Amino acid sequence: MFKTKMLYQQGGSRMNIVVCLKQTFDTEALIVLKDGKIDPTGVTLVINPDDEYAVEEGIRLKEKHGGEVVIVAIGNNRTPEAIRTALAMGADRAALIDDPALAEADDQSNIEALAQYISTLNYDIILTGIANVDTGSVQLAQRLAERLNLPCANMVTKLDIEGTKATTLREIDGGKEILELPLPAVIAAQQGLNEPRYPSVPGIMKAKKKELKTFKLPDLGIDASSVGTQIQIEKITLPVARRTGHMIQGEPAEAAGELARILSAEKKVL
């Protein structure tokens, strides 16, 4: 069990906000498979969409309460692109856990690495996205909260902080729920919580000078040989391409006749 370290709750003027960020494929990108895996070559990588809401909410909390926003990510040598975007939006500094042992690791190993680093920080709230768009995983917030012994609210569409209490509005089956949590807590953001801002030109310039530290697993006290995965991916396939539509030109009577001919001669349905 980790010992939670806070400043804001103890009467300080600063609110310490941690945002977990992941870099993923652009959802509009053309995915190509190579040797049974997704080929990242030439593919545009972006901040995981749900994580953008977490970044934006963290910045808004800082603007309202004061303090700083720390971005924490697991990735590789391309991940700083996404991190710099978050810094350009208004986050203050960042940490990247870049270790080859995590390249094929499962959520359990990733969460352990995140928890080990976050436990070294002073924090009042941890924000994550509700899901990873690339893997479909929705485990991060809950498992990270369990690992750090913190309360958690997921599917959050509204967040208010008052003193040492967080009040959230979250979506549940068939409706919405108001949930109050003591700080520190883990909050999983989703669409509807806010509208993420675009980085400004001054923000982009400032982001280049903001702190971005890189860590290996041994730096966090984790033996790289203990990291792995209990999930075996057998096969990755692309969805079947949709057939293109067939536009029939001409007057209504002519078009109807042509449609009947196609259905009878080509599609064999008449």
| Tens digit of each residue's pLDDT (9 = 90 or more) over 135-172 | 888 899 999 999 999 999 999 999 999 999 999 999 98
Please check the confidence at residue 256 and state whether its pLDDT lies above 80.
Answer: yes
CATH architecture of 8-226: 3-Layer(aba) Sandwich (3.40)
d(CA 166, CA 217) in angstroms, rounded, equals 32
- What's the burial of 43, exposed, middle or buried (CB within 10 Å: 0-12/13-18/19+)? middle
What ranges make up the beta strands (E) of the chain? 15-21, 23-25, 33-34, 37-38, 45-47, 67-74, 93-97, 125-129, 152-162, 165-172, 175-182, 185-189, 212-215
Helical (H) or strand (E) element with 78:
none
Per-residue pLDDT at 201? 97
pLDDT in tens, 35-70: 777 777 778 899 999 999 999 999 999 999 999 999
Please say whether the beta carbons of 21 and 140 come within 8 A.
no
Please say whether the beta carbons of 184 and 4 come within 8 A.
yes
Per-residue pLDDT at 144? 97
What single-letter DSSP state applies at residue 184?
Answer: S
pLDDT in tens, 164-184: 999 999 998 889 999 999 999
With vertex at residue 51, the alpha carbon angle to CA 45 and CA 57, rounded to the nearest 5 degrees, is 135
Q: What is the mean pLDDT of residues 30-34?
A: 80
Per-residue pLDDT at 267? 63
Per-residue pLDDT at 79? 96
Instruction: Dig out the tokens for 34 from the structure.
Output: 């190579």
d(CA 207, CA 71) in angstroms, rounded, equals 12
Helical (H) or strand (E) element with 109:
helix 107-118
Q: pLDDT class for 77, splitting at 50, 70, 90?
A: very high
pLDDT in tens, 115-131: 999 999 999 999 999 99
- The candidate with the shortest Cα–Cα distance to 130, out of 94, 156, 148, is 156
Q: pLDDT class for 207, splitting at 50, 70, 90?
A: very high
Q: pLDDT class for 270, splitting at 50, 70, 90?
A: low
- For the chain, give every domain's residue range: 8-226, 240-270
Q: Please state, for a pLDDT cut of 70, what percent of the chain lies above it.
A: 94
